[in-house]
């Protein structure tokens, strides 16, 4: 669960999200380029990226939560 505080709202809203931890050793510039490219992609069949978490050497992508199973079950279910 992620709490998102929006300056224009009275109360923060709660979102269910997926955190995807990235591999260590990935070049910082490469990470930012990929993040920007992924952030611009919009398609009805793709999960949207909501943001990222960067602290020290930790890198995580934050995706919207989809409660209808996972990719493997959709492809092979």
Chain centroid to Cα 34, Å, comes to 12
Please give the residue range of the domain that contains residue 72.
2-76
Q: What is the pLDDT along the chain (77 residues), one digit of tens a residue?
A: 455 545 555 555 566 666 666 666 667 777 788 788 888 888 887 777 877 777 777 777 777 777 776 667 767 76
What pTM was estimated for this model as a whole?
0.53
DSSP 3-state assignment of 72?
Answer: helix
Nearest to 70 by CA among 14, 31, 18: 18
What CATH number should be reported for the domain holding residue 52?
3.30.200.20
Angstrom distance (rounded) from CA 49 to CA 18: 9
Number of structural domains (the chain) is 1
Start-end of H helices in the chain: 28-40, 71-76
> For residues 30 and 51, what is the distance between their CA atoms, to the nearest angstrom?
16
């Amino acid at each position: 669960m992620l709490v998102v505080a929006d300056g224009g709202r009275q109360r923060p809203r709660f979102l269910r999200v997926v955190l995807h931890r990235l591999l260590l050793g990935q070049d910082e510039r490469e990470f930012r380029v990929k993040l920007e490219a992924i952030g611009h992609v919009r398609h009805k069949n793709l999960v949207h990226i909501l943001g990222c978490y960067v602290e020290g050497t930790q890198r995580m992508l934050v995706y919207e939560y989809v409660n209808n199973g996972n990719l493997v079950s959709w492809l092979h279910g």
